[in-house]
Structure formats: structure tokens, C-alpha cells
Structure 1
């Protein structure tokens, strides 16, 4: 083979090396759209993480570091999935449901699971911003629902009035500067509308208010119920 042929073959080989292979297409992305990121559901609780010699925080930090190493310009956001203690099922399935994964919801949902068909009790439907009492929608105002939702998402923790004011009222609100009495008035009106279920909002004397889960209370989570704690 002549030197010219060898140089030509070598140049063609180098050119083929310089051309990056086409990235495989993500099957879930339909034509006309583009992938902007992904979600990785990790099912593990603090006890299991501790038994493995780690923690949820360390796992998250390791995944963030890996992502930064592979793609320095990638943006990350980590959220913890919260579920009632003793919730059954596989951890990853509980996480997917808590974070409102569409595929998991489609598999989990059944006609009897429709809050409109609940046999009775209280349904706090965060996803639709409503409360259903014994199959009837309660006529809560926006602020009353926000107050109940704030307590529900912090189940079992006593919330001081000052925290409720700073979290639920802003300078843009039409009401005058709220005070502790403002909170008490809204709680009283909320309880009146909850009727025989008024005790789900508990008064902790000298401290504030707390939501306690009852057997006849069901919570329908919103698409983003989990706080970013990492």
C-alpha cells in the first residue's frame, strides 16, 4: 500500500474518532419535546440508612457530588418524601406515591379511592385545595384552607401563632397587620366549619395549634408536599 493510501486511511480513521456517536433517545420523550432532567426515586428510611452506616443526607450529598462530577452545569434539587409512620408497602412505592409520580398514582388509584366517594369522615384534599366532610365539600375560605393545610403538613408538631402569621400572611394581604387574635379567629371559624370533626385542630394552651391524625381523616397530598431539607 502506498504512503498516500495509508495517510488517507489514517485521516479517515481519525475523522471517525472525532465524530461523537449519537446519544440514545429517551423512549419516554415523544417527538416534538425535549428532556430537561429526570427524577430518581430512592426508597430508604433513616433507620435503614443508619443500619447501612450512612444517612439520607449523606446519600443525597453523594448523588449531588456525582452529578456535579459528570455534568458540572447540571442543577439539582432534593426533596424528602414524608409518609405516616408505619405506612405499608415497599419504600420506593411509598416515595413515588408521596411525591405524586403519575405512573404510581395511576396504578394506585381505584374508583373507591376517589375522595368524592369517601364513605365518610374527613378528606383533606391538598391536591385540589378542598376539604370533604362526610361526602360534602366544606365551604372553607382560601385562608382557612391554607391554615388547615399548614397544620396538616406538620402533623403532630405544635405550631406557634407567630409562625402561622409569618408563614400565611404577607404584606400583600388585604387584612390589616395580623396578630395572635387574628389566628384565633380564623381557627375558630375553621373549627365551626369542620363541625363534629373540629377536634382535628388541637389547641395547645400557651403554645399554639396542632393537627393530630384521626382514624377518620384522610390526606390527599399535592404534587409537591415534601420540603427541601438537604
Structure 2
């Protein structure tokens, strides 16, 4: 069974509600266990530190609520999505939206919002699920292990002689699985802070990728070329990714 489903619009019999538009600034909601800085009268607002070469293009709001809880509030998921879309259309008419429902096996436990984040492959949620997985070296016997926590790559059980920059390049692609990364982003991110003389040209990235693939041997196709754009890592049956404890979402800010 797929773990997501595109949400249909609410039926005509469902009550139509519209959320009140909030036009004043809304504070950031931190995680419950995150340390809160002491408030000072003259303290400047916190700055967002974006990865080099990136810019915000939208956001994802993970909502944890099942049909029973929604029904208890007199609504359903379709009504909630429709209300959010109407509010967004009022605040930002040019915004594009896409809604999907996270599906989980009946009777599965856990907080609704955590189930949603995991089902929709939110990077930091996936990373946390890896923390409790045993690191079985035998799983590397016939494939590739990209060990983020130990900064190493195992190929058919043997440690590959990757340079620091080659591992950084592979790790950057792995942590952004399924997303095509442009050469300019790789340069700006992996050589952030380098002088103009030290920073490589975009074509030099191609050389690094060729060397990386050569060391991957028969698994070289896990790093795919998107012609005219850049490179992408796709999930592969022969590849195991081991995340370190507390590995963050790579694009979180």
C-alpha cells in the first residue's frame, strides 16, 4: 500500500469553513525540548542561516490528525485542507499548493505528526529512525554502504579510498536524495568560503564526479547525470545509508 494519497476536495455535503487570515507577524514555533534563549529588551531578531547558493521556495506544513479526531471537531481532512488553501489564497494569491494524505497501517502507534513526517519522507524524521537500526556489516557484503556518521564508504565490504572532498560530494547528493543538484550549488556549498582562486569552476565538478564514480566501480550509476543541469542520487537496492545520531534535515534553516 502506498503511504501517501492525493487529497480529494471535500464533498458538497461537508461544511465549508474558512480560517481567519492572520496578517500580523507570527513567531517561529520551536520544538518542545529545544533550549529557549533568554529574552532581552534590545536583542535583535534571530537570523536565518541558509545554505550557500540556496533560497526559500516555499514550505511544508506537517499536520498530524486522523479522521476520528477531525470528526470529533466536526470536520474532515478535506475540509481542513480546503480551509487552509482558501486562507493561503487570500494571503498569497500567487502561491501554488499541493496536498497529500499520509497513510499508515491501521492500529499503528506513535504521534500523528511523527507518522506524517515519516510517511512523507521528511529528512530529519527518516534520520531518527536510523538511529536504532543495528549497523550490520554483513549488509555491505554485496553493495555500497554510505556511512554518514563515520565519514566512510564501504563497497562490497571493503573501505573505499575516498578523499575528503569526494565523500563530501557523495554525502551532499545522498542527503538530498531524489533532488537534482546544479553544479553551481555544489560549488557554492562544498567550497563555501573559498577564495575565487581556490573555488573550482563548474566543469571541475564533472572531474570530481568522474573520479567518484570510478571509485564506486560497478555501482557508479547511483550518482546520475541530469544532462544540462547537474547530478542526482537515487535510492538503489544495493545501497545502505547509515545516518549519525541527530542528523538534521540538510535544508532546514
The CA distance in 1 between the partners of 2:161 and 2:239, in whole Å, is 17
Match of 1:224 in 2: 247
Match of 2:66 in 1: none
The CA distance in 2 between the partners of 1:86 and 1:217, in whole Å, is 26
Instruction: Tell me: CA distance 1:99–1:211, structure 2 relative to 1, closer, same or farther (3 Å).
Output: closer
Shift of 1:65: 7.7
Question: Which structure: larger Rg?
Answer: 1
Please list the CA deviations of residues 162-214 of structure 1 after superposition, one character each: whole Å capped at 9, or x if unmatched.
00000001344797331012101100000000000001111111111111111
Q: Let me know the Cα RMSD of the aligned residues.
A: 4.5
Instruction: Tell me: CA distance 1:98–1:175, structure 2 relative to 1, closer, same or farther (3 Å).
Output: farther
Instruction: Tell me: CA distance 1:65–1:208, structure 2 relative to 1, closer, same or farther (3 Å).
Output: closer
Shift of 1:99: 4.2
The CA distance in 2 between the partners of 1:145 and 1:229, in whole Å, is 21
Instruction: Tell me: CA distance 1:153–1:140, structure 2 relative to 1, closer, same or farther (3 Å).
Output: same
Choose the corresponding residue for 1:192, options 198, 214, 220: 214
> Residues 13-24 of structure 1 correspond to what in structure 2 (within 5 A)?
none
TM-score, structure 2 length as denominator? 0.51
Instruction: Tell me: CA distance 1:145–1:65, structure 2 relative to 1, closer, same or farther (3 Å).
Output: closer
Match of 2:29 in 1: 64
Match of 1:98 in 2: 126
Please list the CA deviations of residues 56-92 of structure 1 after superposition, one character each: whole Å capped at 9, or x if unmatched.
xxxxx8992897xxx7838x99xx99xxx99998664
Please list the CA deviations of residues 80-115 of structure 1 after superposition, one character each: whole Å capped at 9, or x if unmatched.
99xxx99998664858973448xx845x42xxx423
Is the 1:153–1:225 Cα contact (8 Å) retained in structure 2? no
> Residues 1-230 of structure 1 correspond to what in structure 2 (within 5 A)?
64=29, 73=38, 92=114, 98-100=126-128, 105-106=131-132, 108-109=133-134, 113-115=135-137, 118-172=140-194, 176-222=198-244, 223-227=246-250, 229=252
Is the 1:98–1:225 Cα contact (8 Å) retained in structure 2? no
Consecutive unaligned residues in structure 2, runs of 5 or more = 10-16, 18-25, 40-45, 49-60, 63-101
Instruction: Tell me: CA distance 1:87–1:220, structure 2 relative to 1, closer, same or farther (3 Å).
Output: farther
Shift of 1:227: 3.8
Is the 2:140–2:155 Cα contact (8 Å) retained in structure 1? no
The CA distance in 2 between the partners of 1:182 and 1:165, in whole Å, is 9
